[in-house]
Amino acid sequence: MANLFQRPGRLPLVAPSILSADFADMARDAGQVLRPESDGGAGADVLHVDVMDGHFVPNLTLGPDMVRDLRRHLPDAFLDVHVMVNDPGQYLAAFAKAGANHYTFHIEPVIDRAAGTGMSPLSQGYDPRALADEVRKLGMTAGLCLNPPTAVERVLPLVKDFDLILVMSVNPGKGGQAFMPEVLAKVKEIKRHLRADQRLEMDGGIAPATAGACREAGCDVLVAGSAVFGKPAAERGAVVRALRG
Ligand code: DX5
Ligand code: ZN
């Protein structure tokens, strides 16, 4: 069954990152950004769920239990899970069972393993294509992510095997960092290789002031953490509209 990323009603989709929400009041904050503006919400499309393992990035955030409880409180939410972890296969089944709709993992642990550097001893390594197949077998769409220093040539041979490519516009690890415009060249290059049913997502430092350049470069899913949740609830709808353009 096609999901929102394959059959979006409108583009771009706006995906607030719950990393910048109130973790002790998550159901309220996450529900508010997804409700229509006419119902006191912000009218966003997707919840972006940033998972960090303390190895691939130093920070430690949340895991499958958060997804399970988001699913319970918000049965209709589209949950876009972005794992910044060394071993994405280790957590895949748990996120699927918890109710994730989409699962994006990074290319860098694969590159680092091939180079024999930078890997946590916890990592078992993975084949990105095989892992994408596993993701789809579990009923989710699959995304591949690259960090700002990673060359676009590393992902181009793989793009046809994914439902979504996520280009980081900050070095991952925390919210609230400055947008890196130099990654827009990679977005344009990747866009040339995508089919109409594939999405191009951008994540990091996206706000009304930077979203226009992302949309023009071809992004059709815009993640925004601090730009949305950093505002009082009553002002978030205007931010989401500005991100859509
Ligand atoms: C960065 C995360 C982002 C982050 C975005 O490591 O992947 O999703 O939450 O936050 P802002 O929009 O504040 O840069
Ligand atoms: Zn993210």
52-90 residue pLDDT tens: 999 999 999 999 999 999 999 999 999 999 999 999 999
Confidence band for 112, pLDDT divided at 50, 70 and 90:
confident
Ligand 1 neighbours by CB, cut-off 6 Å: 17, 19-20, 48, 50, 82, 170, 172-177, 203-206, 223-227
Q: Tell me the percentage of the chain whose pLDDT exceeds 90.
A: 92
Question: 122 pLDDT exceeds 60?
Answer: no
Is there a catalytic annotation at residue 203? yes
Confidence (pTM): 0.96
H or E element in which residue 52 lies: strand 47-52
Contacts of 143 (CB under 8 A, 6+ apart): 82, 102, 103, 104, 105, 162, 163, 164, 165, 166, 199, 201
The predicted structure's pLDDT at residue 124: 65
139-153 residue pLDDT tens: 999 999 999 999 999
Full set of structural domains in the chain with CATH: 13-244 (3.20.20.70)
189-211 residue pLDDT tens: 999 999 999 999 999 999 999 99
SS3 103: strand
Please write down the long-range contacts of 184-190, taking CB distance under 8 Å and 24 or more positions apart: 184/213, 184/214, 184/217, 185/152, 186/146, 186/152, 187/214, 187/217, 187/218, 187/219, 188/217, 188/218, 189/152, 189/156, 190/152, 190/155, 190/156, 190/159, 190/165, 190/218
Question: What does the alpha-carbon distance between residue 85 and residue 32 come to, in Å, rounded to a whole number?
Answer: 28
Mean pLDDT in residue range 170-186: 97
Helix-helix angle 64-73:89-98, to 10 degrees: 20
- Please tell me the distance between residue 169's alpha carbon and the centre of ligand 1 in angstroms: 9
Mean residue pLDDT of the chain comes to 95
- Kindly name the residue from 29, 50, 87, 220 that is annotated as catalytic: 50
84-107 residue pLDDT tens: 999 999 999 999 999 999 999 999
Among 223, 229, 239, name the best residue to mutate to test ligand 1's pocket (greatest count of ligand atoms within 8 A of Cβ): 223
211-230 residue pLDDT tens: 999 999 999 999 999 999 99
Strand partners, 201: 166, 221
Question: What does the alpha-carbon distance between residue 84 and residue 75 come to, in Å, rounded to a whole number?
Answer: 25
The predicted structure's pLDDT at residue 117: 66
